[in-house]
Amino acid sequence: MYLNDSKIRKLKPSSRPVKLSDSHGLYLLVNPGGSHIWYLKYRFNGKESRASLSAYPAAPDFAGAAQQYNDR
């Protein structure tokens, strides 16, 4: 499922954090308080890590960038 602006705006916070995957390790974490944070999951030397990218909606269009990457 590729995330886009309209899908993200329709999301409602739940009682637990919800992780919504986009592609290539990119996902959006929706917290119970209503905050939306972009993360990138990656592996380095066999160890899984994650990097916080930005809060939504302040972030650039990462989902669109991922879509363009897949369309190449």
* DSSP symbols for 24-43: TTEEEEE-TTS-EEEEEEEE
Residue 59 has pLDDT above 90, yes or no: no
pTM: 0.71
- Preceding amide of 13 cis, omega within 30: no
Q: Average model confidence (pLDDT) for the chain?
A: 84
Per residue in 9-44, pLDDT tens? Answer: 888 888 999 999 888 899 999 999 889 999 999 999
pLDDT at 48: 93
Domains and CATH numbers, the chain: 5-71 (3.30.160.390)
Q: Flag whether pLDDT at 60 surpasses 80.
A: no
Residues in the chain: 72
The pLDDT of residue 40 is 92
